[in-house]
Structure 1
Amino acid sequence: MSVITVTRFTIEPDTGTALRTRHADLVAAIRSATPGLVETRLGQVDEQTWIGIWRWDSAEHLQAARRIAPDLPETTATFSLARAVTAADVAVVDEH
């Protein structure tokens, strides 16, 4: 069963360009280090509030990525911009 992780966070308004670059670097690093990342989306709610949506093909692949992510410099670089981070994992039970 696939899993979607929704991460909501805030950034300083003038760091949006840096965030987009660092997010792309993080996605590439995770994809090269572990399998199972199906797709990602980065969305902007307002100048400060952003949402990252990552879809995994299984909970096991998500957990494997979470084990390695703290050791990746791309994780540190990306989340150094983020404040008030919240995340939820959603098990996909129906698709149309």
Structure 2
Amino acid sequence: MVKHIILWTLKEMSDSEKESVKAGIKEGLEGLKGKIPGLVEIKVITSGRLASSNADLMLDSTFESEEALKGYAKHPDHVAVADGKVRPFTVSRSCLDFEI
């Protein structure tokens, strides 16, 4: 199994815009469950952020294998969410992939 963790920082925008963007990212990415081979679990954390944080939201996902993670990266449904709901609104992205 492989964990794929992403932290994003959003671009400058109003609090209400941030909440809308976070909801769209959550809906889009969590909606990929059952559509991508090898994707075991996917959740986006958008709330509960403490003041000590330096990121706005987190993706926590699990894949059957490293090959499944590579397939996810280029899967058309994932690319559509990334290009339409994530990349236009983020200023930074950190990734940690590891075997469990």
Shorter-chain TM-score: what band?
A: 0.7 to 0.9
RMSD: 2.5
Residue 70 of structure 2 is aligned to residue 63 of structure 1: yes
Alpha-carbon distance in structure 1 between the residues aligned to 2:98 and 2:44:
17
Q: Does the CA-based 8 Å contact 1:22-1:77 persist in structure 2? A: no
Q: Call closer, same or farther: CA 1:69–1:6 in 2, change over 3 Å.
A: farther
Q: TM-score, normalization: structure 2?
A: 0.70
What are the within-5 Å matches in structure 2 for residues 10-89 of structure 1?
Answer: 10-11=9-10, 12=13, 13=15, 14-29=17-32, 31-32=34-35, 34-44=36-46, 45-46=49-50, 49-68=56-75, 72-79=79-86, 80-89=88-97
Q: Does the CA-based 8 Å contact 2:39-2:64 persist in structure 1? A: yes
Matched AA of 1:62: L
Q: Call closer, same or farther: CA 1:35–1:73 in 2, change over 3 Å.
A: same
Percent identity between matched residues is 13
Q: Call closer, same or farther: CA 1:71–1:59 in 2, change over 3 Å.
A: closer
Q: Does the CA-based 8 Å contact 1:7-1:88 persist in structure 2? A: yes
Alpha-carbon distance in structure 2 between the residues aligned to 1:42 and 1:71:
14
Alpha-carbon distance in structure 1 between the residues aligned to 2:97 and 2:90:
19
Matched AA of 2:18: T
Q: Call closer, same or farther: CA 1:71–1:57 in 2, change over 3 Å.
A: closer
Alpha-carbon distance in structure 2 between the residues aligned to 1:73 and 1:39:
19
Q: Which runs of 5+ in 2 are unaligned?
A: none
